[in-house]
Amino acid sequence: METSETGDFDAVIRCLNQYFEGLHTANIELLDAIFHDDAMLKAPDMRRSKQVWLEAVASRDVPAQLGHGFNYRILSVEVLGDQAMAKVYCPLLGRHYIDFLGLLKENTHWKIVNKMYADSPDHAAR
């Protein structure tokens, strides 16, 4: 029997894998579905709404079409009740991002409510 805690952890992992798939294929519908409507995306000296970010994803090169490998990785996940924090590695279009994703469970669904990201200077992704 699956406990609620295990089920929530698994649901967060599924959301993160959908995030990777959405980034790799530029699947705007998938990304839209896993991000909360008022999610904010923050990088050094840059702040964007979900909608502005989705428009940028739609207009950039698509890693899958360029033949880039699917090398995204979950580095860590912590789930506490209805909140979760994930650290993920996203090699994307020649850059090596480390993303910190904040997720909340609302109405039985996990959604990304905050994305904080920066290019990893050492490309180590530890």
Please list, residue by residue across 9-22, b when 16 or more beta carbons sit within 10 angstroms of its beta carbon and e when fewer do: eebbbebbebbbbb
CA–CA dist 97, 43 (Å, integer):
10
pTM of the model: 0.91
CA–CA dist 66, 4 (Å, integer):
40
At residue 103, φ and ψ (nearest 5 deg) are: -125, 150
Domains of the chain (ranges, CATH numbers): 4-119 (3.10.450.50)
The predicted pLDDT at position 1 comes to 40
Give per-residue pLDDT as tens, 7-27. Answer: 999 999 999 999 999 999 999
For residues 82 and 14, the answer to whether their CB atoms sit within 8 Å is no
